[in-house]
Amino acid sequence: MSEPRLDSLPAAIETAGDYEAHAATRLDPVAWRYLQDGSGKGLTLAANRRAFEAASLLPRPLVDVRGGHTRLNLFGQTLAHPIMLAPIAYQRLFHADGECASAMAAAAQGGAFWVSSLASQTLESIADASRQTGDAPWFQLYWQGERASTLRLTRRAEAAGYPVLMLTVDAPVKLATLQLPGAVQAVNLERPLTADPPPPNGSPVFDGWMARAPTWDDLAWLRDQLRQPLILKGILHPDDAEHAIRLGCDGLVVSNHGGRVLDGAPASLDALPEILARVAGRVPVLLDSGIRDGRDVFKALSLGASAVLLGRPYIWGLTSAGAIGVAHVIRLLRDELEMSMALCGCKTLADLNMSQRGHAA
């Protein structure tokens, strides 16, 4: 039997990773596997962690960092720190307060929460919850199989006050991989996403599943429909980054979907430098997949990422203690990031790249 959720912070929590064991005892085993597992043999899931573990930090002592901070401006929004909460579906699987709790925690910490198209609470209620403690959340879009329903979903997010939109393309058709309980559903979708039946002698993949997936032409169309900044998530190849910028995307997220889609894809951190070199500062580039602590955040930013998306660890906090658990996870990573910055001679985020390259701080 699962242990009850907590209404206060667990004892003896020193890092976000300490929440993992607490969450495991409070979640149904099927839901826990859905959260934790990667696809296939878990090769990409493991590669994400190896990449961060192999990256080193270069201490730069004797630098005066008084007055330092982690503030940044991104897509027209001022954030207190660069640790965003990644879009994770069906959050009422993990806590009764679901996405509303995560939204409140992110806003209270001065950050951003990407709300999934597959959220288990309405876009409007999540936005209202976020505004109780800070700014509105941001919206993550899965293509809805065709243009009209996709546009209706984006217009609904816009009307609810979501200022930034991110299209995820590395999981081109997102389907639930577990049997959802009746009380937990993707409540913002007009209908469940299903694959087209393939024609006679056709492939169920190429002519069925992928027939519902977006193309570059669909991306160009979507860009023309939107007034908000449009971010593209799921980029690992520099040529795709270039194509997205040419079509007018305002930012990119280097991501392998946390190892949950294509097993054997490279670690996001390993793919980041080549994409940054191609982008050459034209748009912000964010890093998703594999972040576990504030030192990982520092490593991604020192390579040139503008911000990072945090996934599983904040859900461990949500599962354990609701909104207060999520806020605590964010605060722990912020403290670790600030400590890493201070020990590496970095007063602001702008100093990170130079510090780790060995330039004078």
Residue 182 covered by a domain: no
d(CA 324, CA 76): 28
Residue 151 covered by a domain: yes
**Catalytic residue (choose from 22, 257, 328, 359):** 257
| pLDDT tops 50 at residue 360 | no
How does the average pLDDT of the chain come out, rounded? 92
d(CA 262, CA 157): 29
84, β-bridge pairs? 309
Residue 5 covered by a domain: no
Kindly give, in sequence order, each residue whose CB lies less than 8 Å from that of residue 154, ignoring residues fewer than 6 positions away: 139, 141, 165, 222, 225, 226
Residue 198 covered by a domain: no
Average pLDDT over residues 73-92: 97
- The range of the structural domain enclosing residue 75 comes to 18-60+67-173+204-356
Max distance between CA atoms of the chain, in angstroms, equals 71
Residue 23 covered by a domain: yes
| pLDDT tops 60 at residue 1 | no
H or E stretch at 234: strand 230-235
Residue 287 covered by a domain: yes
Q: What confidence tens digit (pLDDT) does each residue in 20-36 have?
A: 999 999 998 989 998 99
Is 257 among the catalytic positions?
A: yes
Q: What confidence tens digit (pLDDT) does each residue in 149-174 have?
A: 999 999 999 999 999 999 999 987 55
Phi-psi region of 262 (alpha: psi -120 to 50; beta: other; left: phi over 0): beta
Output the six-digit token pair for 197. 């039946």
Residue 314 covered by a domain: yes
Residue 8 covered by a domain: no
In this structure, the dihedral spanned by the alpha carbons of residues 213, 214, 216 and 217, taken in order and rounded to 10 degrees, is: 120
Nearest of 137, 144, 185 to residue 160 by alpha carbon: 137
Alpha helices (H) in the chain, listed in sequence order: 18-24, 29-36, 43-54, 98-108, 123-131, 147-159, 216-225, 238-246, 268-279, 294-303, 312-343, 352-356
Q: What is the pLDDT of residue 355?
A: 61
Enter the pTM of the model: 0.94
CATH code at 108? 3.20.20.70
Average pLDDT over residues 313-342: 97
Q: What confidence tens digit (pLDDT) does each residue in 237-249 have?
A: 999 999 999 999 9
Per the structure, how many domains does the chain have?
A: 1
